[in-house]
A and B are shown apart, each in its own frame.
Chain A
Amino acid sequence: MTYKAKFKVWRGDDKDGGLHDFTVEVNDGEVVLDVVHRLQATQAPDLAVRWNCKAGKCGSCSAEINGMPRLMCMTRMSVFTEDETVTITPLRTFPVIRDLVTDVSFNYEKARQVPVFEPPADLKPGDYRMSQVDVERSQEFRKCIECYLCQNVCHVVRDHEENKKSFSGPRFLMRIAELSMHPLDTRDRRKEAQEEHGLGFCNITKCCTEVCPEHIKITDNALIPMKERVADRKYDPLVWLGSKIARRK
């Protein structure tokens, strides 16, 4: 089954650009990325797009399709009607380089600001013992393919460029939660989560969870539990008192 589909693809660079109309063939079982590749091969050989695995595992082909942040390789054409115009734009939270490719270095800078795993100093490789139930929470977060759709959709930085300084975004707040729940991590990450990575900016409106192609429950399982952990440390006088007394014993 083949039909001609109407597409609008944003083309341009960091100075100017706009939506361009294309009519392109679509076959049964194809995804949006297939169509973009066909555009490249037949009509626009220099159409810039990132992609790698084409199986939803690498998180490279992030874009906005009909306004929603999605992976192009995981958006099947069958979700659109044949007469529907499909609009593809680059991610709108990061500076554009060209066409559908954006500069995502914001994310790599934030990644570098999260202190890495700190195991107990005396634990030797091969001697690590952890229970499956203890690693499962962090394992969920390690499914992350770093497509940055959550970073892109989060209104804290999407709608407020100035917050990029003080807010690390769902991906890296989740990374902090991952380490905080790692059974062998020795660092107290609660204060820095709030003060350096801007967990307080999150108003748990859950768009990160809505767009996550890995279906990670970012808000419920990472951000909210992390907010609760921060509350233990910073905003709960009773827990604070309890921990002081416990330590004295």
Chain B
Amino acid sequence: MSTGTLSPGRAKIDKPTLRTDRYWVSPLITFLVFTAFIAYATFRAFQNDHYYASPYISPFYSPCISDNCVPMPGAGEVHFIGSWWGWSPALLVLVVPLGFRMTCYYYRKAYYRSFWQSPPACAVAEPHRSYTGETRFPLIFQNSHRYFFVLATIFNVILTWDAILGFRNPAGQWGHMGVGTLVLLINAALLWLYTASCHSCRHIMGGRLKHFSKHPIRYRAWGFVSKLNGKHMQLAWVSLFGVALADLYVLLLSLNAFTDPRFF
């Protein structure tokens, strides 16, 4: 191979990297955690069961847009696509959070590095013969991130509503709260933070402006989002755990592994 750091004219050094630190640890952890999440999410999405434990609905299955969901009184029963859909209803809605995270600027960095090794770490040669980045199909569709941002915001509203529905008891009466309510509320809050810290959001709020001074309100919004944006990576991770744990909580309740501790 005579490309990259081995190209003629460059300093003759055979090793793909001379780094002495454990640069591979971080991409490896990312790889393992993401793989675990994907495995769990795939299993749960296809399981098509144990996603409702009144009054809680798993974030993987909300909103339910086909007729084949279990009855979930009050919770996102908007069966507008009708009855033709035969597979798990989760597959219909997971496209949105999946698309949002797949096109997210942080996740892109994470999976390009840990899954695609392009590059594995800084100043470590990547194993690919050629590279075109996001210039052509399919990766050019990463530019659709802003649309997923809008859809994800709508989903956040729905999941927030789901959390509010948690202020009912299993019989559907309002004015109650359990640990599950808290779990769903935290999940919704983390999703809002993750979504609000998104780079597309930052752009829409004010990043695209040339003159902040002419748009003081948008400038403040941009400033606020910019602050959150600095934590985008952390929020991407905790909100991912949040979703998985919220789903796991509903799964365990539904399996009667324990009963939801009620506050009132």
Residues of A within 8 A of B (CB): 10, 12, 14-19, 64, 66-69, 84, 87, 89-96, 102, 131, 133-134, 153, 155-156, 158-163, 181, 183, 198, 200-207, 210-211, 220, 224-225, 227-232, 234-236
Contacts and interface: CB of A to CB of B under 8 A. Distances in A.
A204 to B, nearest CB: 5
Nearest to A91: B11
B222 to A, nearest CB: 10
B interface bracket (residues with beta carbon within 8 Å of A): 35 or more
B47 interface: no
20 contacts: A12-B11, A15-B12, A16-B12, A19-B13, A67-B18, A91-B11, A92-B5, A92-B13, A134-B213, A159-B119, A160-B130, A181-B210, A200-B133, A200-B136, A203-B108, A204-B105, A207-B122, A220-B199, A232-B208, A234-B143
Select the residue from B140, B144, B210 with max chain A CB neighbours within 10 A. B210
A59 to B, nearest CB: 18
Nearest to A210: B122
B4 interface: yes
A198 B229 CA distance: 25
Given A155-B126, A159-B3, A201-B133, 12 more contacts: A64-B123, A89-B18, A93-B5, A96-B9, A102-B11, A131-B212, A162-B3, A200-B133, A203-B118, A203-B133, A220-B229, A228-B203
The dominant DSSP class at the A interface is: mixed
B62 interface: no
A153 B123 contact: yes
A162 B123 contact: no
Contacts of A90: 11
Nearest to B133: A201
Nearest first, the 4 closest Cβ-Cβ pairs linking A and B are A67-B19, A67-B18, A200-B135, A131-B213
B122 A68 contact: yes
A105 to B, nearest CB: 12
B17 interface: yes
Contacts of A224: 105, 199
B20 A67 contact: yes
B53 to A, nearest CB: 39
Contacts of A160: 3-4, 130-131
Contacts of B108: 203-204
Contacts of A17: 11-12
A198 B131 CA distance: 12
Contact of A92 (B10, B126, B128, B219): B10
B59 interface: no
A207 B123 contact: yes
A201 B118 CA distance: 12
Contact of B134 (A14, A159, A203, A211): A203
Given A96-B10, A155-B118, A201 B123 contact: no
Nearest to A10: B11
Contacts of B211: 131, 134, 183
A137 B40 CA distance: 42
A183 B125 CA distance: 39
Contacts of A93: 5, 10
B11 A205 contact: no
B173 interface: no
A241 B145 CA distance: 18
A109 to B, nearest CB: 15
Interface in B233-263: none
B13 A200 contact: no
Contacts of B146: 228, 231, 236
Interface in B5-37: 5, 7, 9-13, 17-21
B174 interface: no
Interface string B90-131: 000000000000000100110011000011001111101011
Select the residue from A10, A18, A64, A200 with max chain B CB neighbours within 10 A. A200
Contacts of B135: 198, 200-201
